[in-house]
Amino acid sequence: MRYFICVISLFLLVGVQAQVVITGSGKAPVSIENFQVSPDGKNILIKDLQQSGVIELVGQNQARYRVEGALEGGALKSRLIEMRQNQVIFNRSYVGATRDMIHQFADDVVQAITGYPGIATTQITFISKATGAKELYVMNVDGTSVRQITRDRSISGSPSFSPDASQVAYTSYKSGYPDVYVVNLKTGQRDRVAGFPGLNSGAAFSPSGSRLALTLSKSGNPEIYTMSASGGSLVRVTKTRGAEASPSWSPNGNSLVFASDDRGSPQIYIASAQGGEMKRLNTGFLYATEPVWSPDGKKIAFNARIGGAFQICLYDLPTQQTRQLTKSSNNEDPSWARDSRHLVFSRNGQLVLLDTLSLETYEIKTGLSQCTEPSCSK
Amino acid sequence: MIAFLLPACKSSKPYDSSAGTGTYDGDYTDMSELPQRGDFNPDQDVDYSTFRAGGKENGTIYFATDSSTIASSERGKLDRIATWLFQNTSKSILIAGHCDERGTLEYNRALGEQRATSVRAYLIGLGAAANRIYTHSYGEEKPAVSGANEAAYQKNRRAEIGVVMK
């Protein structure tokens, strides 16, 4: 074993010998050479690799890896090279919009070097009130390709992607009632999937995409249910006198985490997706809402109200420890990126990407005001 | 993976009469089911002036922070609403729950609904007909007054009761 910057060690296994193990906030040293993609392709790649949190861009002398690329006939031809053995790890050609090709290349580099999924190709769905009404939007995590999905002049809220990011489930008041809709982003087709008496809201796709977890009040009180993503086949999960909200699935689809105020102020609970006993997470905060389960299953991010403002916190399931990630301003509605390391949330109407290890934040410049309730594609 | 997640579907616990145990109450008697939606639009077809006639505020029930409990100060208003329902047997009402801006958006949608269902349950307890009482939640989207201070928050934590005009 040989250590780089104390925490990066060489992984000497057959077949993956070119990969490093990244622990803590360690980074792999990478050099960008001969990346001839005008006009600002290199800057896009630099930003993508830096935001991954696992890559440190260095000069060729300190680098363990080298990336190269050039546009040839509209395609991006690119390579990742392990420099010590001068071994080509991959040699790939991408097609599509320049920015999208670079994002995909960046994610492939991160995956090949560290084994973790990159987040540069992440899509974000969110709500903005820039037009005066709360409408649904989708964009890239770098703030580009912003698409307005709804033009209902009503209230939209609580959007979340299907696992393949082809659909978004969200709440809309467009009929006058708060109902859950699923919109297909390719065809534009929109179906109302839950329109029961009372509140229908907070839908989240199961990891397989076949079911939704959501809040319904049809029994006379807001409770968590699951249902088929195309409607019907309801399973009631909670049965309390409190209000339950904001369900999020465990990655194996067996459990749900959600907020409940059954004991007074809202707290975070976990229950089987089939219903049954609720287990309270002892987060240490009086007011805790909007929990989201990390894709690796180990962490719950949530909102805590601290001193009158909302902050983003992490509950680590193996150690049962809570960590407060943001300290100032007002931060709401965390959503995990697919690497289980980055969170996107809203800060005073702007969207922010946070590296939960380094605590570095990056403002996502959407060009829109009053942005809330972001949710990442996985 | 996570041991405490696994004991799903344990046998039901006996009903605990103290609300708010945070457990799945197996023998829990349901709240009164909500009626099927009527043929009306909550944004357009509800008249909130009926219970405000003569400068009275009978149609607005106020709540403490994060609470959906009916305060004793609000019960007289609900007695009068129930009486009105007894006297107007062909009419239905809509209870729209609202929150101040300090909660998170999705939790406030649920809390607004719970305020409405809490008022509804109270009226049913007084003998009002369950199938004539609809509920609705606007969460924190429609504050009564603007302002980031306790006086404004107090006015925004409310359930507004109106008469369905269809």
| A290-319 per-position pLDDT tens digit | 999 999 999 999 999 999 899 999 999 999
- pLDDT tens digits along B131-146: 999 999 999 999 999 9
ipTM of the complex: 0.92
Instruction: Write down the pLDDT at residue A133.
Output: 98
pTM for this predicted structure: 0.90
Task: Report the alpha-carbon distance of residue A240 to residue A219 in Å, rounded.
Answer: 11
Contacts of A264 in chain B (CB under 8 A): 20, 66
Q: Residues 228 to 247 of A: which have CB under 8 A from any B CB?
A: 238-246
pLDDT at A204 over 60: yes
Task: Report the alpha-carbon distance of residue A207 to residue A224 in Å, rounded.
Answer: 17
Report the sign of the C-alpha dihedral through residues A137, A139, A141, A142, in that order.
Answer: negative
CB A159 within 8 A of CB A126: yes
Cα-Cα-Cα-Cα dihedral of A45, A48, A52, A57, to 10°? Answer: 40
State mean pLDDT over A54-61.
95
* Tokens standing for residue B59: 């149609």
- The answer to whether A142 contacts chain B (CB < 8 Å) is no
Instruction: Write down the pLDDT at residue A170.
Output: 98
Instruction: Write down the pLDDT at residue B32.
Output: 87
* Tokens standing for residue A294: 């990390």
More confident residue, A49 or B55: A49
CB B116 within 8 A of CB B32: no
pLDDT at A25 over 80: no
Per the CB < 8 Å rule, is B24 touching A244?
no
Per the CB < 8 Å rule, is A289 touching B33?
no
Per the CB < 8 Å rule, is A275 touching B32?
no
CB A206 within 8 A of CB A185: no
Contacts of B41 in chain A (CB under 8 A): 175-176
With 0-12 / 13-18 / 19 or more C-beta atoms within 10 angstroms meaning exposed / middle / buried, residue A198 is buried
For A317, which residue in chain B has the nearest alpha carbon?
A: B2
Cβ neighbours, 10 Å, residue A239: 22
Strand A55-57 and strand A28-36: the pairing is parallel
Give the residue among A25, A3, A28 at the shortest CA–CA distance from A115.
Answer: A28
DSSP string computed for A257-308: EEEE-TTSS-EEEEEETT----EE---S-SSEEEEEE-TTSSEEEEEEEETT
pLDDT band at A218 (very low <50, low <70, confident <90, very high): very high
Contacts of A201 in chain B (CB under 8 A): 106, 109-110
Q: Does residue A78 sit in helix, strand or coil?
A: strand
Nearest CB to A197 within list B8, B36, B114? B36
For A281, which residue in chain B has the nearest alpha carbon?
A: B4
Give mean pLDDT in consecutive 10-residue pieces for chain B, a chain of 166 residues: 40 38 49 91 96 89 95 96 97 98 95 97 95 97 94 97 95
pLDDT at A348 over 50: yes
